[in-house]
Structure 1
Amino acid sequence: MKRILITFAMALSVAPAAMADLALATAKQCVACHTVDKKLVGPAYKDVAAKYAGQKDAVDKLAIKITQGSSGVWGPVPMPANAKVSEAEAKKLAAWVLMQK
């Protein structure tokens, strides 16, 4: 029982951080093209997480794609640069995306 309570408490302590990053993604208009679990204009966050799983430099790679944009990675539709996202915010968003399952 104690183990269950500890696990539950740990899950609750992570939930606010995850929601804060969803809030950041919403504020920076990322959710206009992406969702957590299905393709919209761009890939689902869970698909991005799966593609970059195990890559040690994934956060940095994705942060660059967020701020500078990219093309040809997920098909013909380019991802435009997001000048409203700082480097620190991009890294926070990238880390959050990589946690999606």
Structure 2
Amino acid sequence: MSAMRVIVKIVFIFTALAYFIPHAHADSEDQKAFTLAKQNACLGCHALDRKIVGPSFQSVAQKYKSNPNAQAFLKNKIAKGGAGSWGVVPMPANSKLNEADLSLLVSWILRGTPSQN
């Protein structure tokens, strides 16, 4: 096998790994976030793509997509609850969620809640 063919194969392998490893990690993180949302009753009031009691997660992502403070704001909103951002129905506090769980959920929501298979 020529040196050029070996180099091409190596480049192909590294390119494939560079694509699949982060995507596999993202899918795993997305699944963890979805499970966390289910375990904490988030899906009782929020659907991924339609309004229930509260807005859909995709609507939240759309509303805050260009807000540089969205991560901190939404983490605080989930942890402490409140009303006024989407109407008068209050969102209950989820104070038992730790910082890592809040970050995972908010990141997933802001990405539009991908990978729910």
TM-score class, shorter-chain normalisation, is: 0.7 to 0.9
- Residue 7 of structure 2 corresponds to none
In the alignment, structure 1 residue 70 sits paired with structure 2 residue 82: yes
Aligned residues: 100
Instruction: Work out the CA distance in 2 between the residues paired with 1:24 and 1:82.
Output: 12
1:39 & 1:6 partners in 2: Cα distance? 38
* 1:5 CA displacement: 5.2
Q: Alpha-carbon deviations, 1:33-90, whole Å to 9, x = none?
A: 1111111111000000000002122111000000111211111211111122223322
Give the distance between the partners of 1:87 and 1:12, measured in 2 at CA: 23
Could you tell me how far 1:30 is from its partner in structure 2? 0.9
Pick aligned residue for 1:57 from 46, 69, 81: 69
Which of 47, 53, 78 matches 2:59?
47
Following TM superposition, by how much is the alpha carbon of 1:99 offset from its aligned partner in structure 2, in angstroms? 0.6
- Asked whether the 8 Å contact 2:60–2:109 carries over to 1, the reply is yes
1:59 aligned partner, one-letter code: Q
CA RMSD of aligned residues (A): 2.1
CA displacement at 1:97 relative to structure 2: 0.6
Q: Which amino acid aligns with 2:81?
A: G
**Bigger Cα Rg:** 2
Tell whether the 8 Å contact from 1:67 to 1:87 is kept in structure 2 after alignment. no
C-alpha displacement of 1:8: 6.3
TM-score (norm 2): 0.74
> Where does the alignment leave 5 or more consecutive residues of structure 1 unmatched?
none
Which contiguous aligned blocks of 4+ residues in structure 1 show a shift greater than 6 angstroms? none
**Length-normalised TM-score, structure 1:** 0.84
Identical pairs, percent: 34
Q: Mapping of 1:73-88 within 5 angstroms?
A: 73-88=85-100
